[in-house]
Amino acid sequence: MPFISLLNYWKNHDIENVSNMIDDHVAAYYFNELGEPVALNKPVLIEMLRKRMKQIETDTHLQWNFEVVQRARIHDKQLVIFYTYSSENPNYQETEKTMIMMTFNSRTSNNIGRIKSIHITPHIKDFHN
């Protein structure tokens, strides 16, 4: 399961292996504060993650947390939607998260199941009354 490998590399700040999992022609979008998608290429995506990993590494109060929301299949691809956050709040609904949706192509004997698309939406909070 490529998703498990990805989270393992990510949590251990292994940017090289994360980069190897991302297809060179990845369709990546970052949704800004206005909800507008901003297209990213692979080098920009990797640099964003590298900067965030450095922030986590230097602050002892922060750690990577991942919460899988949905896993599904679309034809021969795997779709995964998950939250990631680096600081915990005792009131879970107030924890600010980043929602990430990824599709992985099918894994074959010659293919590690590369990431084909990524949608990143920061500043997510649970909806509650």
Quick: pLDDT tens for 5-63: 999 999 999 999 999 999 999 999 999 989 999 999 999 999 999 999 999 999 988 89
pLDDT value, residue 38: 97
Query: Bridge-partner residues for 103, per DSSP?
Result: 79, 117
Between 31 and 91, name the one with better pLDDT: 31
Domains of the chain: total: 1
Contact status, residue 82 vs residue 68, Cβ threshold 8 Å: yes
pLDDT value, residue 111: 63
Residue 129 above 80 pLDDT? no
Quick: pLDDT tens for 94-120: 788 999 999 998 766 666 679 999 999
**116, part of any domain:** yes
Locus of tokens 């649970």 = 126
pTM higher than the cut 0.75: yes
pLDDT value, residue 106: 76
pLDDT value, residue 108: 63
**78, part of any domain:** yes
pLDDT value, residue 55: 92
Q: Which tokens hold the place of 116?
A: 């084909």
pLDDT value, residue 109: 60
pLDDT value, residue 115: 94
Range of the domain at 32: 2-124
**74, part of any domain:** yes
**83, part of any domain:** yes
Burial state string for 99-128 with b = 16 or more CB within 10 A and e = fewer than 16: bbbbbbbeeeeeeebbbbbbbbbeeeeeee
**129, part of any domain:** no
